[in-house]
Amino acid sequence: MLASGHSTKISKEQLYVFYVKSGERMVKVDIVRAIQLGTDLQFGEAEKLVNDMLEMIKEKLEKGEDVLITGLGKFELRDKKSRPGRDPKSKRDYEISARRVVTFHPSKVWRDELNSQN
């Protein structure tokens, strides 16, 4: 309802564009809501879709497999070796433990799109 007391009808497409282009940091619930508004799915169905997709990506990475999403990029799991580090506050040396990290490399297509916007 508008401040003047009149109501206005906003289409799902307009809501979807508003949600995606609002300029705010997007979190998982925003992705779910955008999918819901852009499709005929209920919120719970869209949430399950997003959760299932993220779980599938996590499972593949945990198995050591890369995940390539055409037009977006590649997620891969990297093993980092232990290395020496220094606490900047106390200046004490310590060892940073070995760990596995997920890295993301944007696709060339997306990178070119981002760089052409400058």
**pLDDT per position as a tens digit, 43-66:** 999 999 999 999 999 999 999 999
> Is the pTM for the entire model greater than 0.85?
no
DSSP state of 9: -
The architecture that CATH gives domain 66-118 is: Irregular (4.10)
Distance, in Å, from the CA atom of 54 to the CA atom of 44, rounded to the nearest integer, reads: 15
**pLDDT per position as a tens digit, 7-26:** 445 566 666 565 556 667 77
User: What is the dihedral sign for C-alpha 117, 115, 103, 84?
Assistant: negative
Residue ranges of the chain that CATH labels 4.10.520.10: 66-118
Structure tokens at 3: 């401040």
